[in-house]
Amino acid sequence: MIDAIWRDRLDAVALASGLATSDHPRLATWVRDLSDQYNRAAFPVRWTPERIAARLHFFLPRDAMKVATALRDVPLPAGDGPVEVHDVGAGIGASALGVVLGLRARGLSRPMRLQLSDTHAAPLDLAGRVLRGLPGVELDTKLSRPEIVVYSNVLAEVDHGRPEPARIEAHARMLRAQAAGLVLVVEPALRDCARRLQAVRDRLVAAGVPVLAPCTHDAPCPMLRRDTDWCHDDLPVDLPPWLHPVARAAGLRWQGLTYARLVLGEAPAPRPAFRVVAPPRDSRGRKERLLCGSLDGDVLTWVDRLDKHASQQNGAWDDLARGDGLDLSPAERRVGRETVVTRTG
Ligand SMILES: C[S@@+](CC[C@H](N)C(=O)[O-])C[C@H]1O[C@@H](n2cnc3c(N)ncnc32)[C@H](O)[C@@H]1O
């Protein structure tokens, strides 16, 4: 999705901006430092050239992949003119790049017009350098009615320090005020960020806003019942090999892609019947998945399949990852030999 040519592109952006290139011996230290800031929610981050270089050479490609995969199963914008996208809190452009990559990966060939905004304007110059020159992509300062609005790794910073209930209300109001075909929110897969997003989702559902993903129903979020749960994706998508050395040296993972997401639409759209919301549990002779979706009067159920019942129809059960959507026919607590399991994204 984001091949090695991007290392050269980002190095060219770094050189043009007076920043260190990706072969700098201290890059991994800077990546580690910035990761610690994010994990401690030490906002606002004080931006130094070293941290900006870390963002450019590591977080940008990684976070672009998160945004791109978060679009894997949502309805594509219809029409034939340019797709208009507003990236709120665009930073140095990772999220806008992710939308471009995600829509292209879905086969959308329409041109794209991007608006980037941020309360902190300095990084937007860098974003322009990252995005300018992408085929079929134009940067625009103001769009009248974007089809897609994206907030990626932004809510973690918005209203930081306010009491949690007020913050949840404010985020719900802010997202609800967006008039767009699709509003995509991506947040770190951290407990507090994900649970806040789930609470925002409950407010929006109560206000009648159509939620397209990750939810499979409009009942209160069952992943809020226990403090120890948080809804997030953990996709078996590794970072590209050229990012492995810096990830390894910084003590960060390159295997798998984790994030919490929320996708809002203007109108309801078909959703999968179930989504996997916990790590798969495989034991001797049995594979269990915790599914969010209506089954036997609840919306959170462990469903299993005995290995002796594995068949061609239910083969998709083996490889389901946390975050995958699926349909089950018939929908029962135990997947049988005849049950058809269809992964939907
Ligand atoms: C961690 S960066 C994320 C950048 C980019 N979206 C990404 O995914 O990599 C968060 C950005 O949100 C911006 N931000 C914080 N509060 C904001 C607000 N209320 N409105 C717009 N941008 C905001 C910050 O200035 C920062 O550039």
Mean pLDDT, range 153-159, rounded to an integer: 96
Return the closest-CA partner of residue 33 out of 13, 14, 55.
Answer: 55
Domain ranges of the chain: 5-265, 274-343
- Residue list, ligand 1 pocket, CB within 6 Å: 63, 88-91, 94-95, 118-120, 123, 152-154, 157-158
pLDDT band at 78 (very low <50, low <70, confident <90, very high): confident
pLDDT value of position 69: 98
The minimum-distance atom of ligand 1 relative to the CA of 67 is 8
Report the distance separating Cα 73 and Cα 53, nearest Å: 32
Pairing assessment for the beta strands 112-117 and 137-139 based on DSSP bridges: parallel
Give residue-wise pLDDT tens across range 19-41.
999 999 999 999 999 999 998 88
Domain 5-265 adopts which CATH fold? Rossmann fold (3.40.50)
Whether residue 123 contacts residue 92, with contact meaning beta carbons closer than 8 Å, is answered with: yes
Mean pLDDT, range 127-132, rounded to an integer: 96
Whether residue 344 contacts residue 318, with contact meaning beta carbons closer than 8 Å, is answered with: no
pTM for the whole structure: 0.97
Mean pLDDT, range 301-319, rounded to an integer: 98
Computed over every residue of the chain, the mean pLDDT equals 96
Report the distance separating Cα 247 and Cα 27, nearest Å: 10
Least confidently predicted of 7-21, 31-45, 48-62:
31-45
Mean pLDDT, range 198-221, rounded to an integer: 98
Element (H, E) at 105: helix 94-105
pLDDT value of position 137: 97
Residue of minimum CA distance from atom 25 in ligand 1: 120
pLDDT value of position 145: 85
Whether residue 223 contacts residue 202, with contact meaning beta carbons closer than 8 Å, is answered with: no
Tokens representing 208 are 């009648």
313 Cα: distance to centroid of ligand 1 (angstroms): 44
305 Cα: distance to centroid of ligand 1 (angstroms): 43
118 Cα: distance to centroid of ligand 1 (angstroms): 6
Least confidently predicted of 40-54, 84-98, 258-272:
40-54
Whether residue 183 contacts residue 88, with contact meaning beta carbons closer than 8 Å, is answered with: no
133 Cα: distance to centroid of ligand 1 (angstroms): 23
Report the distance separating Cα 202 and Cα 206, nearest Å: 6
Helix axis angle, 164-176 to 191-206, nearest 10° = 60
Using the predicted structure, report yes or no on whether residue 122 has a pLDDT greater than 90. Answer: no
Tell me the helix, strand and coil percentages in the chain, rounded to 5. 35, 20, 45
The minimum-distance atom of ligand 1 relative to the CA of 59 is 9
Using the predicted structure, report yes or no on whether residue 179 has a pLDDT greater than 80. Answer: no
Return the closest-CA partner of residue 43 out of 185, 193, 245.
Answer: 193
Residue of minimum CA distance from atom 3 in ligand 1: 153
**3-state secondary structure at position 222:** helix
pLDDT value of position 159: 95
Mean pLDDT, range 102-119, rounded to an integer: 96
- Residue 233 φ then ψ, to 5°: -90, 150
pLDDT value of position 301: 98
Is the dihedral angle over the CA atoms 316, 318, 323, 327 positive or is it negative? Answer: positive
pLDDT value of position 345: 84
Using the predicted structure, report yes or no on whether residue 1 has a pLDDT greater than 80. Answer: no
Mean pLDDT, range 306-312, rounded to an integer: 98
